[in-house]
């Protein structure tokens, strides 16, 4: 089973005490590639550092909606993201960008400004984007449509079956994680079950991620998530699609390499 964890946060403080040990363990357990995702200027810099430190790590750089107000106070914020993307060969995407109306609904307009600025940067650079969408489906889709030349992935996809169809029509990918193993998971289970009916190329538009240290799959729910736990998500998705976990991992490995432009 070869695994590409397309969305991880090993820069998170939960890994401070044993980061190197865990990365070595997950690598020995079949995790061949990891994309560590920037969520602020500071974490983007850490993601770049991780990609330089570990051969199997890549990075994305961007400002998450929850950090938009703080990071946009830096007048140089967007130029810093551009420099990190253009000056580091292992930086493969702009993100995590988007909208989050769950945690900071009072900052909607600032979030939209930050999102649009980074989408425009991605369009300028020809870079793929990693989109965060929490309780903001309509506005996220609207802004995605404003930049038809940009392609990306809606990570930890939480929209409806209809939204998944629309996202794929725009050329985007969707990403599934440990939520698919939760007992109360309905939307993402329905999407994976009906994946082949969503779009002619739907099986080439799905990625798998951990979002570690968050969203740990059953049977480890409640623990700190890590990349080798993808096997439990793969088992669930394989079951829904009528294929093996190994086949699901192989499909999503190829898809992630294509998405990030990695040989």
Give pLDDT tens digits for 186-231. Answer: 999 999 999 999 999 999 999 999 999 999 999 999 999 999 999 9
Q: Read off the DSSP letter of residue 89.
A: T
d(CA 36, CA 245): 23
Band the pLDDT of 105: cuts 50, 70, 90.
confident
User: Which residue ranges form the domains of the chain, and what is each CATH number?
Assistant: 3-260 (3.20.20.140)
Band the pLDDT of 159: cuts 50, 70, 90.
very high
Strand pairing category for 57-61 and 129-134? unpaired
The percentage of the chain sitting over the pLDDT mark of 70, rounded to a whole number, equals 100
Whether the CB-CB separation of 73 and 80 falls below 8 Å is answered with: no
Residue given tokens 């190829």 in the structure block: 254
pLDDT at 103 over 90: no
pLDDT at 36 over 90: yes
Q: How far is CA 72 from CA 79, 111, 153, 164, in A?
A: 11, 10, 23, 30
The percentage of the chain sitting over the pLDDT mark of 90, rounded to a whole number, equals 98
Mean pLDDT of the region 171-190: 97
What's the whole-number average pLDDT of the chain?
97
pLDDT for residue 104: 84
Question: Considering only CA atoms, which of 54, 6, 49, 52 is closest in space to residue 27?
Answer: 54
Whether the CB-CB separation of 166 and 198 falls below 8 Å is answered with: no
Band the pLDDT of 47: cuts 50, 70, 90.
very high
d(CA 19, CA 21): 6
pLDDT for residue 139: 98
pLDDT for residue 170: 97
Mean pLDDT of the region 245-253: 98
Whether the CB-CB separation of 207 and 259 falls below 8 Å is answered with: yes
pLDDT at 121 over 90: yes
Whether the CB-CB separation of 84 and 44 falls below 8 Å is answered with: yes
Q: Give bridge partners of residue 153 from the DSSP assignment.
A: 130, 173
Where are the extended beta strands (E) located within 69-228? Answer: 91-100, 129-134, 152-154, 173-176, 206-208
Mean pLDDT of the region 26-50: 98
Mean pLDDT of the region 44-48: 98
């Amino acid at each position: 089973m070869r695994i590409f964890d397309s969305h991880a946060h090993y820069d998170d403080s939960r890994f401070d005490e044993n980061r190197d040990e865990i990365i070595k363990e997950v690598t020995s357990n079949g995790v061949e590639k990891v994309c560590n995702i920037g969520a602020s200027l500071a974490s983007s810099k850490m993601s770049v550092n991780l990609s330089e430190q570990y051969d199997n790590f890549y990075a994305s750089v961007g400002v998450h909606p929850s950090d938009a107000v703080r990071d946009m106070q830096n007048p140089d914020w967007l130029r810093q993201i551009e420099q990190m993307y253009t000056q580091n060969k292992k930086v493969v995407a702009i993100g995590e960008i988007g909208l989050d109306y769950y945690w900071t609904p009072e900052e909607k307009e600032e979030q939209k400004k930050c999102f649009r600025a980074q989408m425009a940067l991605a369009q300028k650079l020809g870079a793929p984007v990693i989109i965060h969408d929490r309780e903001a489906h309509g506005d996220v889709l609207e802004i995605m449509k404003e930049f038809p030349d940009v392609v990306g992935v809606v990570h930890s996809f939480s929209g409806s079956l209809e939204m998944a169809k629309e996202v794929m029509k725009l050329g985007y990918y969707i990403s599934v994680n440990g939520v698919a193993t939760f007992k109360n998971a309905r939307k993402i289970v329905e999407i994976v079950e009906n994946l082949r009916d969503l779009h002619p190329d739907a099986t080439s538009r799905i990625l798998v991620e951990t979002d570690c240290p968050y969203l740990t799959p059953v049977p480890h729910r409640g623990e700190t998530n890590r990349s080798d736990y993808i096997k439990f998500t793969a088992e669930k998705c394989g079951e829904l699609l009528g294929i093996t976990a190994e086949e699901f991992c192989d499909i999503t490995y190829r898809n992630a390499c294509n998405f990030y432009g990695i040989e």
